[in-house]
Structure 1
Amino acid sequence: MSKPGQLVLVALRKMIASGELVAGERLMETPTAQRFGVSRMPVRMAFRTLEQEGLLVPFGGRGYQVRSVSASDIAGAVEVRGVLEGLAARQAAEQGLSDAARAALERCLVEGDQLFEKGYVTEDDLEVYHDLNMRFHQVIVEGSHNPAITDALARNDHLPFASVTALAVDREDMAREYRRFNYAHMQHHSVFDALVNRQGARAEAIMREHANATLRYAEIFSSTTADARMKVILPAS
């Protein structure tokens, strides 16, 4: 895919994941090309890719429509992510962490400890957590030295909330969010302990359970209150 097509593809993915493009919204080539300042060909290629990923569906022979994503769709993708990341953790533990990987994970743990020690979190704090959480998971996946896991995660991660790169925050209950993310951080400590002690089965079980923390947000995302209630944190451009 050309560079303009890739830029359009990434932008549209983010707009769908954040809810800026809502389920059922119609997308046409010409208006989208004008919006991004590109020709119609990059937009056409981006639309086709998003259709293959399950984010867009053809609409009436002309253009596309943002696919309606149900709670069960998200839950299924999250479960698959848990299996894949659990496998990555087991293989990383069995092979042993490199010094660089261990140091990177330790930095994430220290940053998280500092974030949660005050007993509450703000939305800005969770932006920081989002970054360290992505790094923590990435190091584990890379530590498996298994490209098939990386490829499978990339295919699975396009649905909203299915990917570790999209963090859903319930702005109506930040006290609960503190408890949820602090617990997730404690799971990071536990999986790190399993990794350094080369306890593959334990590392796998913790990572699979870790993914399940997302499942409640599948229901919120598909509800009518999602727009007002949820904030979706995505990677910086």
Structure 2
Amino acid sequence: MILSGELPAGEKLAEIPTAERLGVSRMPIRIAFRTLEQEGLLTKQHRRGYQVRRVTEEEITGSIEVRGVLEGLAALQAAEKGLKDHHRHTLLSCLREGDQLFAKGYVTEEDLEQYHDMNKRFHAIIIEAAANPAINAALSRDEHLPFASVSALAIDRNHLEREYRRFNFAHMQHHAVFDAIDHHQGARAEAIMREHANATLGYAKLFDVNTDNNAFRVIGVDTADGKYSG
């Protein structure tokens, strides 16, 4: 409801009215409020209740830039250490899946859901291949804004032709970063991965207050319980 704009920035929320609105008890609402506060979508009020936080473009941009640095470091270290067989196999499987997805020359919302899942696996494997727990810890702290997380993709339903070009280009970057890592070209892998994060910077503009948010969808949100897939 927050991501869709149904609960706008600045709106005050209390446990009882929200529980009645959603038809649940107060306990899951209390847990959800605390979780959303930790994720940066709600702020605790001095008195009882919470308020929907206004997330600025600058905050999202900063988080994405930090993510690019961290994932770039992961790609560098994965290249230096070399891919294990199971890492290489999974990355190649992701690339083949993406190739098949974009081969037809267009995408649907269902295609982009599939891309979202594949994209998560691809990024997760590179971070795992770096074998650096500090990167994982830093990424966990940075991903408090859902639009800045690799776990959620914002798409424009009204311009799927443009989205095809955007995500197909991102997939070509997947090919390039894999090639660099596989050939132990650490500096090249790091540069590509950092540039790859910049493809996300347009997400913040999609959610400008003057934008028709009904045209946009955030893939990676489980609407059954309101939690992000990441």
TM-score scaled by length of structure 2: 0.88
In the alignment, is the contact (CA less than 8 A) between 1:17 and 1:160 conserved in 2? no
Partner of 1:131: 117
Query: SS of the residue aligned with 1:120?
Result: coil
Alpha-carbon distance, 1:45 to partner: 5.0
Q: What is the CA-CA distance between 1:47 and the residue it aligns to?
A: 3.0
CA distance in 2, matches of 1:180, 1:45: 36
Q: Secondary structure at the match of 2:43?
A: strand
> Offset at 1:91?
0.8
Deviation at 1:233, TM superposition (A): 0.5
- Is this contact kept in 1: 2:154–2:217, CA < 8 A? yes
1:68 corresponds to: 54
Partner of 1:176: 162
1:122-173 deviation per Cα after TM superposition (whole angstroms, max 9, x unaligned): 1111111111001000101111111111111112112131001110111222
Aligned to 2:202: 216
Q: 1:105 aligns with which of 85, 91, 96?
A: 91
- In structure 1, distance between residues paired with 2:113 and 2:180: 27
Q: 2:19 touches 2:25 (CA, 8 Å); kept in 1?
A: yes
Quick one: which of 105, 128, 131 aligns to 1:119?
105
Instruction: Give, in whole Å, the separation in 1 of the partners of 2:137 and 2:54.
Output: 25
1:198 aligns to what SS in structure 2? coil
> Shift in Å at residue 224 of structure 1?
2.2
Give the Å deviation of 1:44.
3.9
User: 1:180-225 deviations in whole A, cap 9, x for unaligned?
Assistant: 1000000000000011101111111101100101112211212322
Q: Distance in 2 between matches of 1:211 and 1:19?
A: 25
TM-score by length of 1: 0.86
Gapped runs of 5+ residues in structure 2?
Answer: 223-228
Instruction: State the SS of the aligned residue for 2:154.
Output: strand
Q: Does 1:158 align with 2:139?
A: no
1:36 CA drift (Å): 6.8
Structure 2 distance, partners of 1:93, 1:62, is 50
Q: Which amino acid aligns with 1:65?
A: Q
Q: Distance in 2 between matches of 1:177 and 1:216?
A: 11
CA distance in 1, matches of 2:93, 2:5: 32
Measured in 2, the distance between the counterparts of 1:110 and 1:88 equals 22
Letter of the aligned partner of 1:155 in structure 2? R
- Name stretches of at least 5 consecutive residues in structure 1 with no aligned partner: 1-14
User: Which residue in 2 is equivalent to 1:207?
Assistant: 193
Aligned residue pairs total 222
Correspondent of 2:172 among 182, 186, 193: 186
Give RMSD over aligned pairs: 2.0
Letter in 2 for 1:197: H
Aligned residue for 2:225?
none
8 Å contact kept, 2:4–2:213: no
Q: Which has the higher helix share?
A: 1
